[in-house]
């Protein structure tokens, strides 16, 4: 199946090492067939004695979730949840609705 994923937001738990700079560099250079990672944004959400919870946003063309998952696992991380997926020809930015708090 051909992927049309353009953006992923992942909640990830990782050990303190490697740091988020290393994570971003590794994720930004994932080799994919017919697609590419064009941007990686990582924010530290919470730090405790052993692990860090981070939010990873990855944007690109035809993102391969399996390759991203495997790279995070290789770096010692675990994906807690997939918090956002954008797929298709264009990226739709979220807009507030009356139901939003």
- Kindly report, residue by residue over 14-34, the tens digit of the pLDDT: 999 999 999 999 999 987 777
pTM, full prediction? 0.89
In order of their start, the domains of the chain are 5-87 (3.30.70.1340)
Instruction: State residue 91's pLDDT score.
Output: 84
- Average confidence (pLDDT) over 78-97: 90
Would you place residue 55 in the very low, low, confident or very high pLDDT band (cuts 50, 70, 90)? very high
pLDDT higher than 90, residue 49: yes
pLDDT higher than 60, residue 1: no
DSSP string of 5-65? EEEEEEEEEEESSS-HHHHHHHHHT---SS-EEEEEEEEEEEE-SSEEEEEEEEEEES--H
């Amino acid at each position: 199946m051909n992927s049309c994923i353009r953006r992923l937001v992942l909640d990830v738990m990782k050990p303190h090492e490697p740091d988020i700079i290393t994570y971003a560099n590794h994720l930004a250079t994932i080799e994919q067939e017919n697609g590419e990672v064009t941007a990686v944004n990582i924010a530290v959400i919470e730090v405790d004695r052993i692990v860090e919870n981070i939010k990873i946003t990855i944007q690109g063309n035809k993102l391969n979730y399996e390759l991203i998952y495997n790279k995070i696992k290789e770096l010692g991380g675990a994906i807690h949840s997939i918090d956002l997926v954008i797929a298709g020809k264009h990226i739709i930015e979220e807009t507030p609705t009356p139901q939003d708090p």
